[in-house]
C-alpha cells in the first residue's frame, strides 16, 4: 500500500525534473498580493435574516430575488469577487504570500450548500489556491465511500497541502505552470484513492476514470 511521505518525495522529484517548472512572467510584488488579500475582506457583513430566512414567496419580489441570488450565487461583495478572480489569474507565484493569510479570521463571503456558511479570508485564500491547482479537474464527487477497510472521505487539495507542509508546498509550486501543478495534484489524488482501496473493479473504474481522463488532457 502506498504511503504519503514517499509519494510526496516522488512528486517533488518528478516536478523538479519537469521542463514545465518555469516562472510565469515577471515576479509578482508581495505588496500587490497583500493589497488584494485585504480586498477579500468584505466591506459588508454576512447576509441578514431577511435574506437567509426569507419564506414569503412572491409577496415581496425584491426580497425573493435577493434570497434567490444569494442562494444560487452566494452572498459576495463585488470587491471580494474581483480580488478573488485576480488572485486566481495570477497563479502559483502568489502562493508564498497567500499562505501567510490562511489563519485570517475576518469575514469574506457567505455561501449556502446544505446550510449558510460564512467564510473567512483565510478560508477564501485556501479556496483560491485550490482553484489554481485543481479548479479544472472534475473527479467523481462524493462525501464518503466504502473501501476494503471501512470507508473514506474524498481526497482534497487541503489534505495534500498539509501533507506536503504548507510552506514547503508554496515554495515548491511557486512559478510552476498551472498544467504542471494540476498534473501533480491529479497524480496525488489517484494515489490516495488507490491507498484507500476499492471494493471491486467497477468502483475502481468509477473513481479513477476521471483522473486518467484528465491526465490524458494535460
In 10 A of CB 83, how many CB atoms?
A: 21
pLDDT of residue 7: 56
In 10 A of CB 166, how many CB atoms?
A: 17
For the chain, which residues make up each domain, given as ranges?
A: 4-42+77-217
pLDDT tens, position by position, 82-132: 999 999 999 999 999 999 999 999 999 999 988 999 999 999 999 999 999
Position 73 pLDDT exceeds 80: yes
pLDDT of residue 11: 55
- Return d(Cα 182, Cα 101) in angstroms, integer: 22
Asked if residues 133 and 173 have their Cβ atoms less than 8 Å apart, the reply is: yes
pLDDT of residue 156: 97
Amino acid at each position: 500500500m502506498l504511503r504519503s511521505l514517499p509519494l510526496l518525495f516522488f512528486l517533488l522529484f518528478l516536478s523538479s525534473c519537469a521542463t514545465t517548472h518555469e516562472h510565469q512572467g515577471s515576479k509578482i510584488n508581495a505588496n500587490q498580493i497583500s493589497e488584494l488579500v485585504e480586498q477579500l475582506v468584505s466591506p459588508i457583513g454576512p447576509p441578514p435574516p431577511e435574506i437567509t430566512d426569507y419564506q414569503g414567496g412572491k409577496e415581496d419580489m425584491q426580497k425573493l430575488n435577493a434570497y434567490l441570488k444569494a442562494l444560487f450565487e452566494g452572498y459576495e461583495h463585488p470587491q471580494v469577487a474581483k480580488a478573488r478572480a485576480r488572485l486566481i489569474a495570477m497563479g502559483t507565484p502568489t502562493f508564498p504570500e497567500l499562505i501567510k493569510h490562511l489563519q485570517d479570521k475576518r469575514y469574506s463571503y457567505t455561501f449556502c450548500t446544505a446550510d449558510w456558511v460564512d467564510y473567512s479570508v483565510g478560508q477564501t485564500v485556501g479556496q483560491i489556491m485550490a482553484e489554481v491547482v485543481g479548479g479544472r479537474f472534475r473527479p467523481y464527487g462524493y462525501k464518503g465511500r466504502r473501501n476494503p477497510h471501512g470507508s473514506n472521505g474524498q481526497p482534497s487539495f487541503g489534505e495534500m497541502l498539509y501533507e506536503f507542509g504548507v510552506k514547503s508546498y508554496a515554495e515548491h509550486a511557486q512559478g510552476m505552470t498551472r498544467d504542471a501543478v494540476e498534473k501533480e495534484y491529479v497524480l496525488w489524488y489517484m494515489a490516495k484513492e488507490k491507498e484507500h482501496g476499492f471494493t471491486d473493479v467497477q468502483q475502481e473504474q468509477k473513481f479513477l476514470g476521471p483522473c486518467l481522463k484528465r491526465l490524458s488532457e494535460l
